[in-house]
Structure 1
Amino acid sequence: MRLIFAGTPEIAVPTLAALEDAGHDIVAVLTQPDAPGRRGRTLHPSPVKVHALERGLDVWTPEKASAPEVVERVRALDVDAAAVVAYGQILRPRLLEAVRLAWVNLHFSVLPAWRGAAPVQRAIMAGDDVTGATTFMLERGLDTGPVIGTLTERIRATDTAGTLLDRLGVLGAPLMVDSLAALDAGTARPLAQPDDGVSYADKLTREDAYVRWDLAAHVVDRRIRGCTPAPGAWTTLPDGSVAKLGPVSPRPQRARTVPGQLREEAGEVLVGTGTEPVALGWIAPAGKKPMPAADWWRGARLGEGAQLGEA
């Protein structure tokens, strides 16, 4: 097939590579424009752009993919279909109509659950046991198009959004290859999504990543893992400064204490929650790199009863 590929982050690269390996003719790769790094000075290409240029593919980085001039460029390519994985732009009807068959999106949930920008993060935070990936045909609505194929994957107790996304990115690549092959052969039977079971996965904000220690330990655990690595769970230290936190481990066998209260026990740094305490994994005070919580505790010399977050 003659294809366009649209994607931006690292999780999109396995699908692009799989489509190349399957022998498809990737005539153009759309990805987001180069963006500032963490320090905000130097512009960096997206992982998809880096991969595409290494493979000698034609890369486009439009500010607006649905702009009239981009639509005309796509139409002129006379492609069969387009594959989309975490591109990061809304694609308008005129662009969707510029290919012969369809724009097929790989979405990291089992639709219609968790439509939207952060399906993996929201699934972890909600305590779902299973998630997956879905290929579907893009249309005007948000992740509402007919489904071509799905797969499921168990959410592990230690999964962060990062580890689960990485795994789904690899697992979803052959699903996209198979879906496009079926579409090309005329054997695909896209099914309309049901009206029940719909949920939405809004993009995470900094407020979503703030740790509320008064919640139950298992909820604190899920929320932190869902926000790792981005936007990054955070709390305030006793001096009012901000620190980022890595995943924690509930400790149901340990004595309960005041939510947010710190103590050291058996070599672990424990924090009180609305139920049992949790053991901190790593912590990164403002301006510092992540360090094991035990190392931070020794250096901070806060003493028993110090408080994280709001007292």
Structure 2
Amino acid sequence: MQKFRLVFAGTPAAAVPSLERLAASGHEIVAVVTRPAAPLGRKRVLTPSPVAQAAQRLGLEVIEAARLDAEVTARIAASAPDLGVIVAYGGLVREPLLSAPAHGWINLHFSLLPAWRGAAPVQHALIAGEAETGAAVFKLVPELDAGDVFAELRRPVVETDTAGTLLDELAVSGAELLAGVVDDIARGEARAVPQSGAPSFAPKLGIDDARLEWARPAAEVLARYRGVTPEPGAWTTVDGQRLKVLELAAIDAALGEGNPRPGPGEFAVHAKRLLVGTADAPIEVRRVQPAGRTGMAAADWWRGLGRDGAVAE
């Protein structure tokens, strides 16, 4: 197998397993491209991206770039890469950079293409109530996430999945999938097939997308909670104050029969657990975070209000 010279582009923590796996693969990573350091936390401390930090630990050259302009293209081209690999970089690769590596670029994407092309595939798959999801490695082309697919993995969605836990898992299993495709291309054995079916799209989610609508059926409320956890973070309002909803769950058999039937957004305590009503069935609120406070058990928050009758909106 030919030893490839790779350029890797990625930014968030979900891209780190792929970088680490390729660094251990026997191929040479000649440059790592990532978004610039960003202010994080309450003190807004300027912090390198997770990929930048991993690349530095591995002793790799780091190119920080908010956009892949002519200067970045020239730096990458000068390294004479055989293949470009991108995992959640956060920017578009256009010509002439698209053609700079001898074998072009491949992309690890966290959905079963053509489903959920775009920036937030895992989040949208959960919000939509998909029964199955996965990851795909495809050839990068000018159109968004539309290239031929080299390989994919599939995984059933379970009710305990959140966007955070599911993405963490796919980041690891997807890294193995990606490394296998790189090896296949290096051997001259890779085969890609066109995407089949109508595409769906997964734009980046904002804070408004994370508001829970209690007038929706319970399954839809839970699906949205799972899709926006931990980011942008599910929330509602109570007495005009924003309340972060850190953990929701369907009512389990342990609660027994005779559950109260609160209306949409109404709270009720049953068997020492806090329930909230939806359009068709109550669900359990387990953990919340009031404004200006840390996360806490939802039942403790409710008792701290010292009264009944509050409604989530």
TM-score where L is the length of structure 2:
0.95
Contact map agreement 1:225 1:246 (CA 8 A) in 2: no
* Cα separation, 2, equivalents of 1:14 and 1:290: 29
- How many residues align? The count is 305
The CA deviation at 1:193 is 1.2
1:308 maps onto 2:312 in alignment = yes
Name the residue aligned to 2:63: 60
Give the alignment's Cα RMSD to 1 decimal.
1.2
The CA deviation at 1:12 is 0.7
Map 1:266-285 to 2 at 5 A: 266-285=271-290
The CA deviation at 1:40 is 5.5
The CA deviation at 1:151 is 0.5
Map 1:224-303 to 2 at 5 A: 224-238=225-239, 240-251=240-251, 254-303=259-308
What do residues 183-206 of structure 1 show as CA deviations (whole Å, max 9, x unaligned)? 121111111112x23111121121
Map 1:193-204 to 2 at 5 A: 193-194=195-196, 196-204=197-205
What do residues 266-291 of structure 1 show as CA deviations (whole Å, max 9, x unaligned)? 11111110011111021011111111
What do residues 136-192 of structure 1 show as CA deviations (whole Å, max 9, x unaligned)? 011100100111110001111110000000000000011111111111211111111
Contact map agreement 1:96 1:102 (CA 8 A) in 2: yes
Contact map agreement 2:247 2:288 (CA 8 A) in 1: no
The CA deviation at 1:257 is 2.0
* Cα separation, 2, equivalents of 1:130 and 1:21: 30
* Cα separation, 1, equivalents of 2:32 and 2:166: 25
The CA deviation at 1:251 is 2.5
Structure 2 spans left out of the alignment, 5+ residues: none
Runs of at least 4 residues of structure 1 off by over 6 A? none
Name the residue aligned to 1:14: 17
Name the residue aligned to 1:43: 46
Name the residue aligned to 1:117: 119
The CA deviation at 1:296 is 1.0
SS of the counterpart of 1:242?
A: strand
Which amino acid in structure 2 is aligned with residue 7 of structure 1? G
SS of the counterpart of 1:247?
A: strand
Name the residue aligned to 2:72: 70
Map 1:90-239 to 2 at 5 A: 90-194=92-196, 196-238=197-239
Name the residue aligned to 1:24: 27
* Cα separation, 2, equivalents of 1:71 and 1:40: 34
Same amino acid, percent of matched pairs = 45
* Cα separation, 2, equivalents of 1:40 and 1:86: 26
SS of the counterpart of 1:263?
A: strand
Contact map agreement 2:262 2:282 (CA 8 A) in 1: yes
SS of the counterpart of 2:44?
A: coil
Which amino acid in structure 2 is aligned with residue 272 of structure 1? G
* Cα separation, 1, equivalents of 2:199 and 2:66: 31
